[in-house]
A and B are shown apart, each in its own frame.
Chain A
Amino acid sequence: MENIFANFDLVLRAFLLTIELGVVAAVVSLVVGTLLAAARVGPIPVLAKAGALYVTLVRNTPLLIVFIFVFVAMPKLDIQLSFFTKGCLALSVYTSAFVCEAIRSGVNSVSLGQAEAARAVGLTFAQSMSQVVLPQAFRASVPPLASVIIALMKNTSVAAAFGLAEATSRMRFFTNRYADDRILIFLTFAVGYIIIVEVLSAGALGLERRWRVSR
Protein backbone atom coordinates (compact mmCIF):
# COMPACT_ATOMS: atom_id res chain seq x y z
CA MET A 1 0.00 0.00 0.00
CA GLU A 2 2.63 2.53 1.06
CA ASN A 3 4.94 1.31 -1.71
CA ILE A 4 3.36 3.30 -4.46
CA PHE A 5 2.74 6.38 -2.35
CA ALA A 6 6.33 6.34 -1.08
CA ASN A 7 7.38 6.46 -4.73
CA PHE A 8 4.72 8.89 -5.77
CA ASP A 9 7.26 11.24 -7.34
CA LEU A 10 7.98 8.47 -9.88
CA VAL A 11 4.28 8.31 -10.70
CA LEU A 12 4.11 12.06 -11.16
CA ARG A 13 7.26 12.12 -13.27
CA ALA A 14 5.83 9.37 -15.49
CA PHE A 15 2.63 11.32 -16.01
CA LEU A 16 4.68 14.43 -16.74
CA LEU A 17 6.34 12.53 -19.60
CA THR A 18 2.92 11.33 -20.79
CA ILE A 19 1.68 14.92 -20.83
CA GLU A 20 4.84 16.19 -22.54
CA LEU A 21 4.51 13.56 -25.27
CA GLY A 22 0.83 14.41 -25.64
CA VAL A 23 1.33 18.17 -25.77
CA VAL A 24 4.20 18.12 -28.28
CA ALA A 25 2.40 15.59 -30.49
CA ALA A 26 -0.84 17.58 -30.19
CA VAL A 27 0.80 20.84 -31.33
CA VAL A 28 2.63 19.17 -34.22
CA SER A 29 -0.39 17.18 -35.37
CA LEU A 30 -2.69 20.21 -35.12
CA VAL A 31 -0.37 22.13 -37.45
CA VAL A 32 0.21 19.23 -39.87
CA GLY A 33 -3.44 18.17 -39.72
CA THR A 34 -4.61 21.69 -40.55
CA LEU A 35 -2.27 21.81 -43.54
CA LEU A 36 -3.53 18.40 -44.66
CA ALA A 37 -7.12 19.54 -44.28
CA ALA A 38 -6.34 22.66 -46.30
CA ALA A 39 -4.86 20.44 -49.02
CA ARG A 40 -7.89 18.17 -48.96
CA VAL A 41 -10.55 20.88 -49.25
CA GLY A 42 -8.46 23.11 -51.54
CA PRO A 43 -8.92 23.50 -55.29
CA ILE A 44 -5.75 21.67 -56.36
CA PRO A 45 -6.61 18.06 -57.24
CA VAL A 46 -3.09 16.67 -56.83
CA LEU A 47 -2.84 17.91 -53.26
CA ALA A 48 -6.40 16.81 -52.44
CA LYS A 49 -5.65 13.28 -53.70
CA ALA A 50 -2.33 13.11 -51.86
CA GLY A 51 -4.00 14.28 -48.64
CA ALA A 52 -6.78 11.72 -49.03
CA LEU A 53 -4.24 8.95 -49.64
CA TYR A 54 -2.27 9.89 -46.53
CA VAL A 55 -5.40 9.96 -44.39
CA THR A 56 -6.68 6.60 -45.70
CA LEU A 57 -3.35 4.86 -45.22
CA VAL A 58 -2.61 6.25 -41.76
CA ARG A 59 -6.11 5.90 -40.37
CA ASN A 60 -6.19 2.21 -41.25
CA THR A 61 -2.75 1.45 -39.86
CA PRO A 62 -2.59 0.50 -36.17
CA LEU A 63 -0.67 3.04 -34.11
CA LEU A 64 1.63 0.25 -32.96
CA ILE A 65 2.69 -0.38 -36.56
CA VAL A 66 3.47 3.33 -36.95
CA PHE A 67 5.63 3.00 -33.84
CA ILE A 68 7.36 -0.04 -35.35
CA PHE A 69 8.12 2.00 -38.47
CA VAL A 70 9.60 4.81 -36.41
CA PHE A 71 11.36 2.84 -33.66
CA VAL A 72 12.36 -0.39 -35.40
CA ALA A 73 12.52 0.33 -39.13
CA MET A 74 13.90 3.89 -39.17
CA PRO A 75 17.14 3.16 -37.29
CA LYS A 76 17.83 0.58 -40.04
CA LEU A 77 17.82 3.48 -42.49
CA ASP A 78 20.46 5.29 -40.42
CA ILE A 79 18.08 7.91 -39.10
CA GLN A 80 19.04 8.46 -35.48
CA LEU A 81 16.66 10.40 -33.23
CA SER A 82 16.15 10.51 -29.49
CA PHE A 83 13.45 8.31 -27.96
CA PHE A 84 11.29 11.28 -27.07
CA THR A 85 11.50 12.71 -30.61
CA LYS A 86 10.64 9.33 -32.08
CA GLY A 87 7.65 8.97 -29.77
CA CYS A 88 6.37 12.42 -30.72
CA LEU A 89 7.00 11.69 -34.40
CA ALA A 90 5.02 8.43 -34.36
CA LEU A 91 2.13 9.97 -32.43
CA SER A 92 2.06 13.04 -34.69
CA VAL A 93 2.11 11.04 -37.92
CA TYR A 94 -0.86 9.04 -36.65
CA THR A 95 -2.86 11.85 -35.05
CA SER A 96 -2.52 14.39 -37.86
CA ALA A 97 -4.66 12.17 -40.10
CA PHE A 98 -7.45 12.31 -37.51
CA VAL A 99 -6.98 16.06 -36.98
CA CYS A 100 -7.31 16.52 -40.74
CA GLU A 101 -10.62 14.66 -40.77
CA ALA A 102 -11.95 16.60 -37.76
CA ILE A 103 -11.18 19.95 -39.38
CA ARG A 104 -12.51 18.83 -42.73
CA SER A 105 -15.78 17.76 -41.11
CA GLY A 106 -15.94 21.23 -39.52
CA VAL A 107 -15.48 22.94 -42.89
CA ASN A 108 -18.04 20.66 -44.51
CA SER A 109 -20.58 21.46 -41.81
CA VAL A 110 -20.74 25.11 -42.88
CA SER A 111 -23.62 25.29 -45.31
CA LEU A 112 -23.08 26.53 -48.83
CA GLY A 113 -25.72 29.22 -48.27
CA GLN A 114 -23.44 30.99 -45.79
CA ALA A 115 -20.72 31.54 -48.37
CA GLU A 116 -23.23 32.41 -51.09
CA ALA A 117 -24.87 34.96 -48.81
CA ALA A 118 -21.47 36.42 -47.98
CA ARG A 119 -20.70 36.81 -51.67
CA ALA A 120 -24.18 38.19 -52.36
CA VAL A 121 -23.77 41.01 -49.84
CA GLY A 122 -20.51 41.87 -51.55
CA LEU A 123 -17.88 40.57 -49.15
CA THR A 124 -14.52 39.86 -50.77
CA PHE A 125 -13.02 36.40 -50.64
CA ALA A 126 -10.79 37.33 -47.69
CA GLN A 127 -13.71 38.87 -45.81
CA SER A 128 -16.02 35.95 -46.45
CA MET A 129 -13.33 33.54 -45.24
CA SER A 130 -12.31 35.45 -42.13
CA GLN A 131 -15.73 36.75 -41.11
CA VAL A 132 -18.15 34.06 -42.19
CA VAL A 133 -16.80 30.66 -43.16
CA LEU A 134 -13.74 29.94 -41.02
CA PRO A 135 -15.17 31.10 -37.66
CA GLN A 136 -18.08 28.70 -38.13
CA ALA A 137 -15.87 25.90 -39.42
CA PHE A 138 -13.49 26.29 -36.49
CA ARG A 139 -16.27 26.20 -33.92
CA ALA A 140 -17.85 23.16 -35.54
CA SER A 141 -14.56 21.29 -35.40
CA VAL A 142 -14.00 21.84 -31.66
CA PRO A 143 -15.89 18.72 -30.46
CA PRO A 144 -14.30 16.28 -32.95
CA LEU A 145 -10.88 17.86 -32.35
CA ALA A 146 -11.33 17.38 -28.62
CA SER A 147 -12.08 13.70 -29.22
CA VAL A 148 -8.93 13.41 -31.29
CA ILE A 149 -6.76 15.05 -28.63
CA ILE A 150 -8.27 12.87 -25.88
CA ALA A 151 -7.56 9.78 -27.97
CA LEU A 152 -4.02 11.08 -28.47
CA MET A 153 -3.46 11.38 -24.71
CA LYS A 154 -4.59 7.77 -24.29
CA ASN A 155 -2.48 6.69 -27.27
CA THR A 156 0.71 7.99 -25.65
CA SER A 157 0.54 4.74 -23.67
CA VAL A 158 1.74 2.83 -26.76
CA ALA A 159 5.14 4.50 -26.27
CA ALA A 160 5.50 2.18 -23.24
CA ALA A 161 6.12 -0.71 -25.62
CA PHE A 162 9.13 1.14 -27.06
CA GLY A 163 11.08 2.05 -23.97
CA LEU A 164 9.72 5.44 -22.97
CA ALA A 165 9.20 5.63 -19.21
CA GLU A 166 5.76 7.23 -19.38
CA ALA A 167 2.79 6.36 -17.18
CA THR A 168 1.91 2.96 -18.64
CA SER A 169 5.45 1.62 -18.57
CA ARG A 170 5.78 3.00 -15.03
CA MET A 171 2.73 1.00 -14.02
CA ARG A 172 4.40 -2.11 -15.41
CA PHE A 173 7.49 -1.28 -13.35
CA PHE A 174 5.41 -0.94 -10.18
CA THR A 175 3.36 -4.10 -10.74
CA ASN A 176 6.63 -5.95 -11.28
CA ARG A 177 8.06 -4.78 -7.99
CA TYR A 178 5.01 -4.77 -5.76
CA ALA A 179 2.89 -7.53 -7.23
CA ASP A 180 0.60 -7.69 -4.19
CA ASP A 181 -0.60 -4.12 -4.68
CA ARG A 182 -1.27 -4.51 -8.39
CA ILE A 183 -4.95 -3.57 -8.22
CA LEU A 184 -4.22 -0.43 -6.26
CA ILE A 185 -1.37 0.42 -8.64
CA PHE A 186 -3.60 -0.09 -11.66
CA LEU A 187 -6.31 2.09 -10.15
CA THR A 188 -3.82 4.85 -9.31
CA PHE A 189 -2.59 5.02 -12.90
CA ALA A 190 -6.08 4.64 -14.31
CA VAL A 191 -7.22 7.60 -12.20
CA GLY A 192 -4.27 9.60 -13.53
CA TYR A 193 -5.41 9.00 -17.12
CA ILE A 194 -9.03 9.67 -16.18
CA ILE A 195 -8.04 13.04 -14.70
CA ILE A 196 -6.21 14.00 -17.90
CA VAL A 197 -9.15 12.91 -20.05
CA GLU A 198 -11.75 14.64 -17.88
CA VAL A 199 -9.80 17.91 -17.73
CA LEU A 200 -9.51 17.91 -21.53
CA SER A 201 -13.15 17.11 -22.11
CA ALA A 202 -14.29 19.70 -19.55
CA GLY A 203 -12.14 22.28 -21.33
CA ALA A 204 -13.57 21.30 -24.71
CA LEU A 205 -17.10 21.42 -23.38
CA GLY A 206 -16.46 24.90 -22.00
CA LEU A 207 -15.11 26.12 -25.35
CA GLU A 208 -18.01 24.52 -27.16
CA ARG A 209 -20.60 26.19 -24.90
CA ARG A 210 -18.87 29.52 -25.22
CA TRP A 211 -18.57 29.42 -29.00
CA ARG A 212 -21.80 27.69 -29.82
CA VAL A 213 -23.23 28.78 -33.16
CA SER A 214 -26.97 28.82 -33.54
CA ARG A 215 -28.10 27.11 -36.71
Chain B
Amino acid sequence: MSTVLFDTPGPRMRARHRLYSVVAGVALLIVVGFVIWRLAQNGEFAYDKWEPFFTPTYIQALLVDGLLKTLQMAFTAIIFAVVFGLVFGMGKLSDHAWVRWPSFLVVEFFRAVPVLLLMIFIFFSYGIGEGFGSYWSVVIALTLYNGAVLAEVFRAGINAVPSGQGEAAYALGMRKTQVMTSILLPQGVKIMLPAIISQCVVALKDTSLGYYILAPGLTAVGKQIYGEFQNQVQTAFVVASLYIACNLVLTWIATKVQKRLVGEKKAILVPMVGQDAGSAV
Protein backbone atom coordinates (compact mmCIF):
# COMPACT_ATOMS: atom_id res chain seq x y z
CA MET B 1 0.00 0.00 0.00
CA SER B 2 1.52 3.27 -1.08
CA THR B 3 0.59 6.38 0.83
CA VAL B 4 1.65 9.97 0.58
CA LEU B 5 4.26 9.28 3.24
CA PHE B 6 5.97 6.20 1.91
CA ASP B 7 6.15 3.90 -1.10
CA THR B 8 4.95 0.33 -1.22
CA PRO B 9 7.65 -1.45 0.77
CA GLY B 10 9.87 -4.04 -0.89
CA PRO B 11 10.89 -7.38 0.65
CA ARG B 12 13.73 -5.97 2.78
CA MET B 13 11.61 -3.10 4.06
CA ARG B 14 8.80 -5.51 4.87
CA ALA B 15 11.20 -7.64 6.88
CA ARG B 16 12.34 -4.56 8.77
CA HIS B 17 8.75 -3.54 9.44
CA ARG B 18 8.07 -7.01 10.81
CA LEU B 19 10.99 -6.60 13.18
CA TYR B 20 9.71 -3.17 14.30
CA SER B 21 6.24 -4.62 14.77
CA VAL B 22 7.55 -7.29 17.07
CA VAL B 23 9.63 -4.80 19.06
CA ALA B 24 6.72 -2.35 19.35
CA GLY B 25 4.29 -5.14 20.24
CA VAL B 26 6.56 -6.40 23.00
CA ALA B 27 7.05 -2.85 24.32
CA LEU B 28 3.29 -2.24 24.40
CA LEU B 29 2.69 -5.59 26.11
CA ILE B 30 5.28 -4.69 28.74
CA VAL B 31 3.50 -1.37 29.41
CA VAL B 32 0.07 -3.04 29.64
CA GLY B 33 1.54 -5.85 31.76
CA PHE B 34 3.12 -3.33 34.11
CA VAL B 35 -0.20 -1.51 34.58
CA ILE B 36 -2.02 -4.78 35.28
CA TRP B 37 0.73 -5.92 37.67
CA ARG B 38 0.54 -2.61 39.49
CA LEU B 39 -3.26 -2.91 39.77
CA ALA B 40 -2.98 -6.50 41.00
CA GLN B 41 -0.34 -5.50 43.57
CA ASN B 42 -2.81 -3.00 44.94
CA GLY B 43 -5.46 -5.69 45.15
CA GLU B 44 -7.65 -3.89 42.61
CA PHE B 45 -8.86 -7.16 41.11
CA ALA B 46 -10.24 -8.40 44.41
CA TYR B 47 -13.87 -9.42 44.08
CA ASP B 48 -15.22 -7.15 46.82
CA LYS B 49 -14.02 -4.10 44.88
CA TRP B 50 -15.99 -5.23 41.82
CA GLU B 51 -18.90 -6.56 43.82
CA PRO B 52 -21.30 -3.60 43.28
CA PHE B 53 -21.05 -4.13 39.51
CA PHE B 54 -22.33 -7.69 39.90
CA THR B 55 -25.06 -6.80 42.40
CA PRO B 56 -28.48 -6.27 40.78
CA THR B 57 -29.42 -3.26 42.98
CA TYR B 58 -26.29 -1.38 42.02
CA ILE B 59 -26.49 -2.38 38.38
CA GLN B 60 -30.03 -1.05 38.39
CA ALA B 61 -28.89 2.16 40.08
CA LEU B 62 -26.13 2.60 37.51
CA LEU B 63 -28.41 1.95 34.55
CA VAL B 64 -31.62 3.66 35.71
CA ASP B 65 -30.53 6.52 37.98
CA GLY B 66 -27.25 6.86 36.13
CA LEU B 67 -27.27 6.07 32.45
CA LEU B 68 -30.95 6.74 31.85
CA LYS B 69 -30.82 10.13 33.60
CA THR B 70 -27.66 11.03 31.71
CA LEU B 71 -29.20 10.07 28.38
CA GLN B 72 -32.36 11.97 29.31
CA MET B 73 -30.38 15.11 30.11
CA ALA B 74 -28.39 14.85 26.90
CA PHE B 75 -31.48 14.18 24.82
CA THR B 76 -33.50 17.03 26.31
CA ALA B 77 -30.57 19.39 25.89
CA ILE B 78 -30.11 18.39 22.24
CA ILE B 79 -33.79 18.89 21.44
CA PHE B 80 -33.75 22.39 22.94
CA ALA B 81 -30.36 23.05 21.34
CA VAL B 82 -31.74 22.23 17.90
CA VAL B 83 -34.51 24.80 18.43
CA PHE B 84 -32.04 27.36 19.77
CA GLY B 85 -29.66 26.62 16.92
CA LEU B 86 -32.39 26.95 14.30
CA VAL B 87 -33.52 30.32 15.64
CA PHE B 88 -30.05 31.82 15.91
CA GLY B 89 -28.66 30.08 12.83
CA MET B 90 -31.45 31.57 10.74
CA GLY B 91 -30.92 34.84 12.61
CA LYS B 92 -27.31 34.89 11.48
CA LEU B 93 -28.45 34.42 7.88
CA SER B 94 -31.05 37.18 8.11
CA ASP B 95 -31.07 40.09 5.68
CA HIS B 96 -31.67 42.54 8.51
CA ALA B 97 -28.63 43.77 10.38
CA TRP B 98 -30.66 44.23 13.58
CA VAL B 99 -31.40 40.50 13.61
CA ARG B 100 -28.02 39.37 12.32
CA TRP B 101 -25.81 41.18 14.82
CA PRO B 102 -27.54 40.14 18.06
CA SER B 103 -27.67 36.54 16.78
CA PHE B 104 -23.99 36.70 15.96
CA LEU B 105 -23.14 38.05 19.43
CA VAL B 106 -25.25 35.47 21.26
CA VAL B 107 -23.77 32.59 19.27
CA GLU B 108 -20.18 33.76 19.66
CA PHE B 109 -20.65 34.38 23.39
CA PHE B 110 -21.99 30.94 24.21
CA ARG B 111 -19.42 29.20 22.06
CA ALA B 112 -16.49 30.97 23.70
CA VAL B 113 -17.53 30.50 27.34
CA PRO B 114 -16.66 27.14 28.96
CA VAL B 115 -19.76 25.02 29.62
CA LEU B 116 -18.76 24.43 33.21
CA LEU B 117 -18.54 28.19 33.90
CA LEU B 118 -21.99 28.60 32.39
CA MET B 119 -23.34 25.65 34.37
CA ILE B 120 -21.95 26.90 37.68
CA PHE B 121 -23.35 30.37 37.06
CA ILE B 122 -26.79 29.05 36.16
CA PHE B 123 -26.94 26.63 39.05
CA PHE B 124 -25.68 28.89 41.83
CA SER B 125 -27.67 31.89 40.59
CA TYR B 126 -30.99 30.40 39.56
CA GLY B 127 -30.96 26.65 40.18
CA ILE B 128 -30.13 26.35 43.86
CA GLY B 129 -32.70 26.28 46.67
CA GLU B 130 -36.04 27.50 45.37
CA GLY B 131 -34.74 27.41 41.79
CA PHE B 132 -35.14 24.79 39.12
CA GLY B 133 -32.49 22.43 40.49
CA SER B 134 -29.30 20.87 39.21
CA TYR B 135 -30.92 18.68 36.55
CA TRP B 136 -32.29 21.67 34.65
CA SER B 137 -29.14 23.69 35.24
CA VAL B 138 -27.21 21.05 33.32
CA VAL B 139 -29.84 20.94 30.59
CA ILE B 140 -29.93 24.74 30.21
CA ALA B 141 -26.15 25.10 30.13
CA LEU B 142 -25.82 22.31 27.57
CA THR B 143 -28.66 23.80 25.52
CA LEU B 144 -26.99 27.21 25.33
CA TYR B 145 -23.56 25.84 24.41
CA ASN B 146 -24.67 23.14 21.96
CA GLY B 147 -27.34 25.44 20.56
CA ALA B 148 -24.68 28.00 19.73
CA VAL B 149 -22.56 25.36 18.01
CA LEU B 150 -25.61 24.00 16.16
CA ALA B 151 -26.50 27.55 15.00
CA GLU B 152 -23.14 27.54 13.25
CA VAL B 153 -23.86 24.07 11.81
CA PHE B 154 -27.24 25.22 10.48
CA ARG B 155 -25.74 28.31 8.94
CA ALA B 156 -22.99 26.28 7.28
CA GLY B 157 -25.51 23.66 6.13
CA ILE B 158 -27.81 26.23 4.53
CA ASN B 159 -24.83 27.87 2.85
CA ALA B 160 -23.73 24.48 1.54
CA VAL B 161 -26.93 24.12 -0.53
CA PRO B 162 -26.05 25.15 -4.10
CA SER B 163 -27.04 28.80 -4.56
CA GLY B 164 -28.95 27.96 -7.75
CA GLN B 165 -31.60 26.27 -5.62
CA GLY B 166 -32.49 29.43 -3.74
CA GLU B 167 -32.24 31.58 -6.85
CA ALA B 168 -34.54 29.27 -8.78
CA ALA B 169 -37.08 29.38 -5.95
CA TYR B 170 -36.99 33.19 -5.92
CA ALA B 171 -37.39 33.18 -9.69
CA LEU B 172 -40.55 31.10 -9.27
CA GLY B 173 -41.89 33.87 -7.04
CA MET B 174 -41.49 32.26 -3.63
CA ARG B 175 -41.10 34.45 -0.59
CA LYS B 176 -38.07 34.38 1.73
CA THR B 177 -39.74 32.13 4.33
CA GLN B 178 -40.97 29.78 1.62
CA VAL B 179 -37.52 29.55 0.06
CA MET B 180 -36.03 28.77 3.47
CA THR B 181 -38.63 26.28 4.69
CA SER B 182 -39.45 24.42 1.52
CA ILE B 183 -36.24 24.65 -0.52
CA LEU B 184 -33.12 25.36 1.53
CA LEU B 185 -33.84 23.68 4.88
CA PRO B 186 -34.97 20.29 3.54
CA GLN B 187 -31.83 20.03 1.45
CA GLY B 188 -29.63 21.49 4.16
CA VAL B 189 -30.83 19.07 6.83
CA LYS B 190 -29.37 16.20 4.83
CA ILE B 191 -25.99 17.86 4.92
CA MET B 192 -26.24 18.84 8.58
CA LEU B 193 -27.50 15.59 10.07
CA PRO B 194 -24.10 13.91 10.61
CA ALA B 195 -22.75 17.07 12.28
CA ILE B 196 -25.83 17.24 14.50
CA ILE B 197 -25.36 13.64 15.61
CA SER B 198 -21.67 14.29 16.33
CA GLN B 199 -22.80 17.19 18.49
CA CYS B 200 -24.93 14.71 20.44
CA VAL B 201 -21.69 12.96 21.41
CA VAL B 202 -20.34 16.27 22.74
CA ALA B 203 -23.57 16.91 24.68
CA LEU B 204 -23.55 13.40 26.13
CA LYS B 205 -19.95 13.77 27.26
CA ASP B 206 -20.64 17.17 28.78
CA THR B 207 -23.51 15.86 30.92
CA SER B 208 -20.72 14.47 33.12
CA LEU B 209 -19.89 18.07 34.15
CA GLY B 210 -23.03 17.92 36.28
CA TYR B 211 -20.73 16.18 38.78
CA TYR B 212 -19.68 19.65 40.01
CA ILE B 213 -23.21 20.78 40.82
CA LEU B 214 -24.28 17.35 42.12
CA ALA B 215 -26.67 16.76 39.25
CA PRO B 216 -28.11 13.25 38.82
CA GLY B 217 -26.55 10.98 36.25
CA LEU B 218 -23.76 8.46 35.80
CA THR B 219 -21.09 10.46 37.58
CA ALA B 220 -23.34 11.08 40.58
CA VAL B 221 -24.16 7.36 40.92
CA GLY B 222 -20.48 6.56 40.44
CA LYS B 223 -19.56 8.98 43.21
CA GLN B 224 -22.02 7.30 45.57
CA ILE B 225 -20.69 3.85 44.73
CA TYR B 226 -17.04 4.70 45.26
CA GLY B 227 -17.93 6.65 48.36
CA GLU B 228 -19.47 3.49 49.78
CA PHE B 229 -17.08 0.80 48.53
CA GLN B 230 -13.84 2.80 48.22
CA ASN B 231 -13.40 1.30 44.77
CA GLN B 232 -12.50 4.48 42.85
CA VAL B 233 -10.47 2.71 40.15
CA GLN B 234 -13.15 0.15 39.34
CA THR B 235 -15.99 2.69 39.33
CA ALA B 236 -14.06 4.99 37.02
CA PHE B 237 -13.53 2.05 34.64
CA VAL B 238 -17.21 1.09 34.65
CA VAL B 239 -18.53 4.65 34.22
CA ALA B 240 -16.01 5.35 31.47
CA SER B 241 -17.00 2.15 29.63
CA LEU B 242 -20.67 3.08 29.77
CA TYR B 243 -19.94 6.51 28.31
CA ILE B 244 -17.65 5.05 25.65
CA ALA B 245 -20.25 2.46 24.63
CA CYS B 246 -22.98 5.10 24.21
CA ASN B 247 -20.70 7.41 22.27
CA LEU B 248 -19.52 4.63 19.96
CA VAL B 249 -23.15 3.82 19.14
CA LEU B 250 -23.80 7.49 18.36
CA THR B 251 -20.65 7.74 16.22
CA TRP B 252 -21.66 4.61 14.37
CA ILE B 253 -25.09 6.11 13.62
CA ALA B 254 -23.44 9.35 12.48
CA THR B 255 -21.21 7.47 10.03
CA LYS B 256 -24.16 5.46 8.69
CA VAL B 257 -26.22 8.61 8.20
CA GLN B 258 -23.26 10.37 6.61
CA LYS B 259 -22.75 7.52 4.09
CA ARG B 260 -26.42 7.25 3.36
CA LEU B 261 -27.35 10.92 2.98
CA VAL B 262 -24.21 12.76 2.00
CA GLY B 263 -22.11 10.08 0.36
CA GLU B 264 -18.36 9.99 0.77
CA LYS B 265 -18.05 13.77 0.88
CA LYS B 266 -16.60 15.27 4.03
CA ALA B 267 -18.92 16.27 6.85
CA ILE B 268 -19.34 19.97 7.48
CA LEU B 269 -16.72 21.24 9.85
CA VAL B 270 -17.71 23.89 12.30
CA PRO B 271 -14.97 26.42 12.84
CA MET B 272 -14.15 27.54 16.35
CA VAL B 273 -14.99 31.07 17.43
CA GLY B 274 -13.81 33.68 14.99
CA GLN B 275 -12.17 31.25 12.59
CA ASP B 276 -12.62 30.41 8.94
CA ALA B 277 -12.22 26.68 9.04
CA GLY B 278 -11.47 23.86 11.42
CA SER B 279 -13.42 21.32 13.35
CA ALA B 280 -15.41 21.41 16.52
CA VAL B 281 -14.08 19.47 19.44
Question: Measuring CB to CB, which residues of chain A are less than 8 angstroms from any residue of chain B?
Answer: 41-47, 50, 56-57, 60-65, 68-69, 72-73, 76-78, 98, 102, 105, 107-108, 110-112, 114-115, 119, 125, 129, 133, 143-144, 146-148, 150-151, 154-158, 160-161, 167-168, 171-172, 175-176, 182-183, 186, 189-190, 193-194, 197-198, 201-202, 204-205, 208
Contact = CB atoms under 8 A, between A and B. Distances in A.
A116 to B, nearest CB: 8
B5 interface: yes
B259 interface: no
12 contacts: A46-B24, A60-B248, A61-B243, A65-B240, A72-B226, A76-B44, A112-B4, A146-B278, A157-B116, A186-B117, A190-B113, A205-B274
Interface string B108-125: 010011111100110011
Most buried by A among B6, B109, B277, B281: B281
A132 to B, nearest CB: 9
Given A44-B24, A201-B274, A155 B114 contact: yes
A133 B272 contact: no
A144 B211 CA distance: 29
Interface stretch (B94-102, B158-166, B179-187, B231-239): B231-239
B28 A172 contact: no
Interface in B115-169: 115-117, 120-121, 124-125
Interface string B216-251: 000100100010001011001001100110011001
B17 interface: yes
Nearest to A64: B208
B212 interface: yes
Contacts of A198: 112, 273-274
Nearest to A145: B278
B275 A194 contact: no
Contact of A147 (B9, B38, B120, B271): B271
Given A77-B233, A154-B114, A205-B274, 16 more contacts: A43-B6, A43-B17, A44-B17, A45-B21, A50-B24, A62-B208, A65-B219, A73-B232, A98-B281, A107-B5, A147-B271, A154-B112, A160-B116, A175-B121, A194-B273, A201-B273
B177 interface: no
A43 B9 contact: yes
A147 B275 contact: yes
A41 B211 contact: no
A19 to B, nearest CB: 14
B93 interface: no
Nearest to B32: A50
Contacts of A119: 7
B170 interface: no
A152 B115 CA distance: 12
Contacts of B42: 76-78
Contact of A61 (B209, B240, B271, B272): B240
Given A73-B232, A183-B125, A190-B117, A44 B21 contact: yes
A161 B211 contact: yes
A158 B209 contact: yes
B224 to A, nearest CB: 13
B65 interface: no
Nearest to B49: A76
Contacts of A129: 5
A65 B251 contact: no
B253 interface: no
B279 interface: yes
Nearest to A151: B281
A44 B20 contact: yes
B275 A115 contact: no
Contact of B116 (A50, A61, A69, A168): A168
B118 to A, nearest CB: 8
A69 B233 CA distance: 7
Contacts of A151: 272, 281
Contacts of B9: 43
B61 to A, nearest CB: 18
